[in-house]
Amino acid sequence: MLEDTPRIRRLWPAAALALAAAVATVAVTALDDRPGETRATAPPTPPDDGPGLLSFASPSASAAHTPAPARNRTAPSPPSSFAPASPARPERTPAKSPTPTAGSSRPAEHGTSVRSLSHPDRYWHVSGGLVRLDPVTSAADRRAATFTRVRGLADGRCWSFTTADGGYLRHRDFLLRAERADGSALFRQDATFCPRPSAVTGAVVLESVNYPGRFLRHQDFQLRLDPYQDTGLYRSDSAFLLVDGVA
């Protein structure tokens, strides 16, 4: 037993080193077993979603990447068609020559005579079925020169003239005459005349509804339908005054 003592003493340094190594290993293992620290990492950069899109990044990331403001949008102006239009100026009409509107309830005007502007002593006068420009002296002449002005048979905005015996004044072969209505569309058109302003205040010219551009005028004291002529004679011969009936 004593012989083994020196051997044991020689083994102590080796045992001490082994023990120290074991203690160091245990210490390292203990350190490795502690919870790991969280590493601070920069937040990922959110994708560029473009202006006006919402970002779902964290508050800090949103502060770092503020989306561009949305584009300003201006409300469209109302269409010009919604703007109030300026009131149209009323069309001037000569005295004693109103143009009735379609569907007008204006009653028939009894006792109307038509006097020539260029021959103030002569009136429209039915003679032999034709309408002439004649002086009226007798009661029969005055009766034949007095008409009833009614709404136009073919156009309510225009005029027709009836005779004392129930006929109408109509143009046929471009001559103005008195005839009984036959119920045809042609007769209604031939018996309808539209008043137009004259150069003379109070006077009218009468245009055919089915021959636009042709107006009633007297020629050799015969009433006829002639195309417009830019002459003083035509304007004078086609201007008439509507007055109270002479009958």
Helix (H) or strand (E) holding 147: strand 147-151
Q: How confident is the model at residue 109 (pLDDT cuts 50, 70, 90)?
A: low
Region 109-244: CATH code: 2.80.10.50
Query: pLDDT tens across 113-141, in order?
Result: 999 999 999 999 999 999 999 999 999 99
Q: How confident is the model at residue 200 (pLDDT cuts 50, 70, 90)?
A: confident
Question: Which residues, listed in sequence order, are joined to residue 70 by a DSSP beta bridge?
Answer: none
Please state the rounded mean pLDDT for residues 157-184. Answer: 97
Q: How confident is the model at residue 91 (pLDDT cuts 50, 70, 90)?
A: very low
Residues in the chain: 247
Q: How confident is the model at residue 182 (pLDDT cuts 50, 70, 90)?
A: very high
| 127 closest CA partner among 175, 87, 160, 82 | 175
| 235 closest CA partner among 196, 193, 177 | 196
Q: How confident is the model at residue 82 (pLDDT cuts 50, 70, 90)?
A: very low
Task: Write down the pLDDT at residue 176.
Answer: 98
- Say whether 23 sits in a helix, a strand or coil: helix
Compute the distance between CA of residue 172 and CA of residue 132 in angstroms, rounded to an integer: 14
- Phi/psi at 109 (nearest 5 deg)? -100, 110
With residues binned 3-state (H G I as helix, E B as strand, rest as coil), the percentages for the chain, rounded to 5, are 25, 25, 50
Q: Are 134 and 81 in contact (CB under 8 A)?
A: no
Provide the whole-model pTM: 0.57
| 168 closest CA partner among 142, 150, 143 | 150
Burial letters 137-151, b for 16+ CB under 10 A, else e? eeeebbbbbbbbbbb
Tell me: pLDDT of 14 over 70.
no
Tell me: pLDDT of 64 over 70.
no
Tell me: pLDDT of 16 over 70.
no
